[in-house]
Amino acid sequence: MHSRVLIIFVDALGPLQLEAAGGFGGLPYRGQLRGILGYSCGALPTLLTGAPPARHGRMCLFAQAAEGGGVLAPLALLGLLPRVVHERGRLRRLAAWMLARQARLTGYVELYRVPPEVFRWLDLPEREDLFAADRIGGCETFLSAARRAGLRVFAAPWQLPEEQRWAHTEAVLREQRPDLVFAYATELDGALHRAGNDSAEARLAMRRITTRIERACEAMRAGGGEVSTIVVGDHGMADIGRAVDPRGLLRQLRGVRAFVDSTMMRFWGDDRTLARARALVERAELPGQWLDTGALDARQAPTHGAPYGRALFLLEEGSLFAPSFVGGAMRGMHGYDVDSPSALAAIASDTPIPEGCRSLTDVAPWVRSLLGVTA
Ligand SMILES: [Zn+2]
């Protein structure tokens, strides 16, 4: 006997956040899942496919382009404008929109504060809409497996603003009675980044999400049959206690290919270059640790072709590079080492969670078995 499945993905729902939200009402079974090294663009593919980043190849939004240049190379032209102009949010959003249209990108495109000259060697691995794609880096998603099995599948359009997306989701649940639903809440992540864990803004977001989950459950059950509901996150959130300005270090590292994410500084180059970078980073006495290719492999990060760096310096939980290439100061951040509390994702369900469901990679097999579809 298979069931219809409602999955509600809540960005930045870790065990701490699930508890603060009061468990989202009537879901009696709860657990925590081991996360991945990287950000949501790596965690979501892991959740959808059941494969670790080393297999699906996603970890950070930006990767090094293959020989011959990546899709972002034309944006190096932004460097012809003065910095105060090319860093404006509106101009960056317009450039991202034009790039997505011109290069037919249907995934998440955001340019943040990446310095224009860096675009020359940078690429965006996420070219496709993750919820529509058959495969991510060669790994099939459970959404795609369900479609292939002839089930009716609905994935909430992530491009819509929160309110609209949930109104649309509820309407589809009532009218179309899908067998598998992937609903999507993004606002908790934004609230936690801006205001931190113990904030009125985060509590308000949790309250709104609780209501939306309750309404979605009700709409799903109105369609009849056995229903399993799973609320799941991709990581948690750590409060920021220390901002690290990377600019002095970057000046010393001139000539070394480096990318500064919010929690990691990633490096490319030959052994000598990396040794020089490591010595400079260690002299700066930043809070964190150097991860070489072996350490990245041990964390099941993608290292084949070094898309995200041959080595990286990872800040310890609670520290943040600001300003980084992807943003400025914030109250909350994630993207720390795999054994940090904020790297854990939460899971809650109205169905007993299988004993072996302990990592983000274990959710896809469970969903497939609830639906009765094969990998
Ligand atoms: Zn986030």
pLDDT at 8 (0 to 100): 97
pLDDT at position 1, please? 59
pLDDT (mean) for 268-276: 95
Domain boundaries, the chain: 4-56+128-237+342-371, 62-124, 241-329
Q: How many angstroms does the Cα of residue 158 sit away from the middle of ligand 1?
A: 15
What pLDDT, in 10s, does the model give residues 119-159?
A: 888 888 877 899 999 999 999 999 999 999 999 999 999 88
Establish whether domains 4-56+128-237+342-371 and 241-329 are of one fold: no
What is the CA(149)–ligand 1 centre distance, in A? 33
Interacting residues of 166 by C-beta distance below 8 A, sequence separation 6+: 156, 183, 185, 212, 215, 216
Q: Give the model's pLDDT for residue 124.
A: 85
Give residue 1 CA to ligand 1 midpoint distance, Å. 37
Query: Looking at the domain 4-56+128-237+342-371, which fold is it?
Result: Alkaline Phosphatase, subunit A (3.40.720)
Percent of the chain with pLDDT over 70: 99
Query: How far does residue 148's CA lie from ligand 1's centre (Å)?
Result: 31
Cβ < 5 A residues, ion ligand 1: 189
Q: Which of 261, 244, 243, 254 is nearest to 114 (CA)?
A: 261
Average pLDDT, the chain: 92
CB of 326 closer than 8 Å to CB of 41: no
Domain formed by 241-329, architecture: 2-Layer Sandwich (3.30)
- The C-alpha atoms of residue 292 and residue 311 are separated, in whole angstroms, by 4
Query: pLDDT-based confidence at 87, cuts 50/70/90?
Result: confident
* CA–centroid distance, residue 190 to ligand 1 (Å): 7
pLDDT in tens, 323-365: 999 888 999 999 999 999 999 999 999 999 999 999 999 999 9
Distance 12 CA to ligand 1 centre (A): 6
Output the pLDDT for position 14: 98
Ligand 1 centroid from CA 186, angstroms: 9
Q: Name 44's Cβ contacts closer than 8 Å, sequence gap at least 6.
A: 9, 130, 234
